Amino acid sequence: MEPTLRAGDWIVVSQLPRGPKVGEIVLVRDPRDPNRLMLKRVAAVADGSCTMLGDRPEESTDSRTFGPVPLPNVLGRAVFRYGPIGRIGWLWRAPFVT
Amino acid sequence: MFLTRLLKPTVTASAHCDLPCGVYDPEQARIEAESCYKIIEKYNASNDEQFKTRAIVIKEKQAELAKHHIDVLWSDYFKPEHVQKYPEITELCWKAAKQCSKVKGSLDLGEARTLLDMIDKIADVWTKAGGPQATRVQKAVAARA
């Protein structure tokens, strides 16, 4: 998910009172291993599942590898990075999302 | 210091990416499993306690590597369309990964043989799924000769 997220970032995730929207970064359970949590960007939402993509499609392991993620596996939305100090900021607006 | 500890996240999520090399081959797991097999043979043939201790340590490492390679195949190479076409692959990989743990903790040659057979079954599916053409770089003719 670089450059948006980097290893070691401290992220606040809020529960979703509604379904995920395209462009948001969400916390999901890996469909291959439910104990593994991932942060990926929502590329599409359809038929009760979510297609996830990383911000570097050429290197990302995402729905192209593990398929669409069922909506119950979407646990929340990444809203704010509170660490490290130099990278504090809101996450809901990625520069390329229109 | 106290504040850092208080604010430090308690849950870790992954957002990393794999390197896009795209090379996957069950042979990697098989070579590690073969190492385990041969090490057990050598262990049983030896009376040297120091050698036997080293053999156990190395076998455990190789078994862990075999498990890693199986896990990479299952989670990164096999795609949903493969699972749809060859539904047995999930159980094959799952059982083979568990067998690696058995081999790690055992000196029974039969367990190592079972692991090799399981990896061969995964390799059969990998071949049927077009693995050799899709993931490997073909050797030059001169290198094959």
CATH at A54: 2.10.109.10
Q: How confident is the model at residue B118 (pLDDT cuts 50, 70, 90)?
A: very high
* pLDDT tens per residue, range B66-98: 999 999 898 888 877 788 899 999 999 999 999
The number of domains in chain A is 1
What percentage of chain B reaches a pLDDT higher than 90? 63
Cβ contact A10–B14 (<8 Å):
no
Q: Which domain holds residue A83?
A: 10-90
Q: Does B79 sit within 8 Å of A1, measured CB to CB?
A: no
Predicted local distance difference test score (pLDDT) of residue B95: 96
Would you state the pLDDT for residue A96? 47
**Are A81 and A89 a contacting pair, CB within 8 Å?**
yes
Average pLDDT over residues A39-43: 91
pLDDT at A94: 54
Whether residue A5 lies inside any domain: the answer is no
Instruction: Report how far residue B115's alpha carbon sits from residue B109's, in angstroms, rounded to the nearest whole number.
Output: 10
Tell me the C-alpha to C-alpha distance, in Å, between residue A9 and each of A35, A91, B140: 20, 12, 45
Alpha-carbon span B14 to B75, nearest angstrom: 14
Q: Which residues 44-103 in chain B show a CB within 8 A of chain A?
A: 74-76, 79-80
- Interface A-B: count of C-beta contacts within 8 A: 51
- Could you tell me which residues are beta bridge partners of residue B2? none
| ipTM exceeds 0.90, yes or no | no
* Residue A2 placed within a domain: no
- Domains of chain B are 25-130 (1.20.120.400)
